[in-house]
Structure 1
Amino acid sequence: MIDRDRLQAIVREAGRMAMASWPGDGHALEVWEKTPGNPVSAIDLAVDAFLKEELKTLLPAAGWLSEETADAPDRLDGGLVWLVDPIDGTRDYIRGRTGWAVSVALVSASRPLFGLLYAPARRQEEGGEFWHGEAGQGSWRNGKRLQASTRKQLAGARVPAKHLPSEDADLVMVDQPNAIALRMALVAADEADLCATVRWGYEWDIAAASLIAREAGAAVTDAFGQALNYNKRDPRAFGVLVTAPAIHAAAVARLAGRARDLVG
């Protein structure tokens, strides 16, 4: 159906484009706000344009949904769609930090078929972190097959976070990349046991990482414990919850009140 090697090469090249302008290596960058508090850079748009051209050439029948492109309703007409965030974690990117990634997923019938993340600023001695997953086949980071956390108890679970509310004081903080996709992937790599958000987000932020985590054996849902569907008319989801399977029910129960209060 698709040239997997070419797909990976396209995502790697997008990461190299971003890395060539990364302020962490001393490069100057043009940055502005799309909306208050929502920064974007010139390289976000350049990488988005590159991915759109290359991925549409790779699979002309697929639709397109991206953070940096105006939504086109015709994406709902076909069976395949690319979900893309050219730089997930823009804040880390523009500050010269490493917690950002190129995120690409191919979705069919509301489910991801392929998910790819490339974080070239991380593990630079290995050429960056390249994550990929394929439905029913597994997921990998830098060629090593992933196996998600198998933690049995919520108390003591590792969470990518910079601070925790008092009601979560029994959890253990680990490094938190700005990119939600990378935080989700940490559960896939057994470097975290739980990743949760309780807010509205967009499909392009989570589609690739949700497949990578699920194929590694993690439980992946929205904040209410419901299945995530993709390429909806409204491309939002309320929260994401990625956990070791045995603690998922307890995590849903803990988040339920907060989620209900925020949704209203």
Structure 2
Amino acid sequence: MDYVHLLDQVVEKVLLAGNLLEAEWNRPGGPRGHGDKAEVDVEIEQQLRVSLLDLVDCDYWGEETGRILTSAEFCWVVDPNDGTSDFLQGRRGSAVSVALMRNTVPVLGVVYAPVTSDRGPDCISWTKGLGGILRNGELLPSRLIHLHLEAGSKVFVSTAAANKPKLNSELCAPADFVPMPSIAYRLARVAAGDAVAGISLVPVSAHDIAAGHALLIGAKGVLLDERGEPICYGSQALLSTSAHRCFGGAPRACQELFRRKWERIFTS
């Protein structure tokens, strides 16, 4: 398979899907939906499901429109709007997330946040055979392997971290913690070099993290679970709950972060 040519096609489909997400953000009266369900999520995934399966007819794991699992070699993994709750609460930074896995290993990933707080539309992508991460068409060097936790570095955490700034500062030290929506976009921005690590302290499924995982692979980073083990997707159970916590980014930083007492976030 020509992965690089396929990536160009997938990016095109994801950007079109992002137009729907942006239009919903700008909708008079605000986005439709409540809680963690927005009506546009289904609309986006219906569009993506058809277009992606036209590119590679294979298994499919989506958040909104169901699954096709036949033990095929390839599998699309789709989250049409990672960060829906924040999106509906008016926070910028939710993202369309698409991965292609081959024999349960991510080999292509695209994460597109059409509405961000600091960058404008932001599309980050990678595939096997590409010599680095692409960000809005620009090839970036892979440098995560050289980074570690230090003063001035950043750790991307969920928006809930803003409610406990002192504790999150302590747990991320000496790095600074930065709250933001969407674990997919957190991992993508880490892969692009904006931070040393991105984390989630709640259970994640493959549709949340597979595209970001692909990007981390391209940036020579890691994605670890709560035990410090590499996250994998070798069964339906692992697709459903890939980890109870995840730590993605520079290998040395993630090895240090997963050992910290994150349970304090929920008990203090």
Matched, 1:68 2:64: yes
Matched, 1:204 2:201: no
Q: For structure 1, which runs of at least 5 residues remain unmatched after alignment?
A: 34-38
Q: Distance in 2 between matches of 1:182 and 1:113?
A: 18
Q: CA RMSD in A?
A: 2.8
Q: Which residue of 2 aligns with 1:36?
A: none
Contact 2:187 2:248 in 1 (8 A): yes
The one-letter code matched in structure 2 to 1:160 is F
Q: 1:32 to 1:97 in 2, by over 3 A?
A: closer
Following superposition of structure 1 onto structure 2, how do residues 121-136 of structure 1 map, counting pairs within 5 Å? 121-122=115-116, 128-136=121-129
Q: 1:29 to 1:66 in 2, by over 3 A?
A: same
Q: Which residue of 2 aligns with 1:249?
A: 255
Q: 1:207 to 1:108 in 2, by over 3 A?
A: same
Q: 1:124 to 1:43 in 2, by over 3 A?
A: farther
Q: 1:28 to 1:155 in 2, by over 3 A?
A: closer
Q: Which residue of 2 aligns with 1:55?
A: 52
User: Alpha-carbon deviations, 1:153-179, whole Å to 9, x = none?
Assistant: 467642124335265162443432210
Q: 1:246 to 1:208 in 2, by over 3 A?
A: same
* TM-score calculated relative to the size of structure 2: 0.82
Q: Helix, strand or coil for the counterpart of 2:233? A: coil
Q: Distance in 2 between matches of 1:188 and 1:208?
A: 11
Q: Distance in 2 between matches of 1:241 and 1:212?
A: 14
Cα deviation for residue 249 of structure 1 reads: 2.6
Q: Distance in 1 between matches of 2:204 and 2:122?
A: 24
Matched, 1:228 2:231: yes
Contact 1:67 1:84 in 2 (8 A): yes
Contact 2:190 2:249 in 1 (8 A): yes
Q: Which residue of 2 aligns with 1:116?
A: 110
- Percent identity between matched residues is 26
Q: Distance in 1 between matches of 2:220 and 2:114?
A: 25
Q: Helix, strand or coil for the counterpart of 1:20? A: helix
Q: Distance in 1 between matches of 2:34 and 2:119?
A: 31
Q: Distance in 1 between matches of 2:219 and 2:109?
A: 12
User: Which stretch shifts more, 235-244 or 78-87?
Assistant: 235-244
Following superposition of structure 1 onto structure 2, how do residues 159-198 of structure 1 map, counting pairs within 5 Å? 159-161=155-157, 162=162, 163=165, 165=167, 167-168=170-171, 170-198=173-201
User: Which stretch shifts more, 137-146 or 98-107?
Assistant: 137-146
The one-letter code matched in structure 2 to 1:241 is F
Q: Helix, strand or coil for the counterpart of 1:224? A: coil
User: Which stretch shifts more, 158-167 or 231-240?
Assistant: 158-167
Contact 1:101 1:119 in 2 (8 A): yes
User: Alpha-carbon deviations, 1:15-55, whole Å to 9, x = none?
Assistant: 011111114x645432145xxxxx21110010011011111
Q: Which residue of 1 aligns with 2:22?
A: 19
Q: Helix, strand or coil for the counterpart of 1:131? A: strand
User: Which has the larger share of strand?
Assistant: 1
User: Alpha-carbon deviations, 1:110-160, whole Å to 9, x = none?
Assistant: 11111001111137986x111101124232111233334433346764212
Cα deviation for residue 9 of structure 1 reads: 1.0
* TM-score calculated relative to the size of structure 1: 0.83
1:44 to 37, 41, 45: 41
Q: 1:164 to 1:11 in 2, by over 3 A?
A: farther
Q: Helix, strand or coil for the counterpart of 1:212? A: helix
Q: 1:184 to 1:125 in 2, by over 3 A?
A: closer
Q: Distance in 2 between matches of 1:111 and 1:43?
A: 29
Q: Distance in 1 between matches of 2:213 and 2:82?
A: 14
User: Which stretch shifts more, 98-107 or 158-167?
Assistant: 158-167
Q: Distance in 1 between matches of 2:30 and 2:201?
A: 34
Q: Which residue of 1 aligns with 2:84?
A: 90
Q: Distance in 2 between matches of 1:182 and 1:102?
A: 9
Q: Which residue of 2 aligns with 1:237?
A: 242
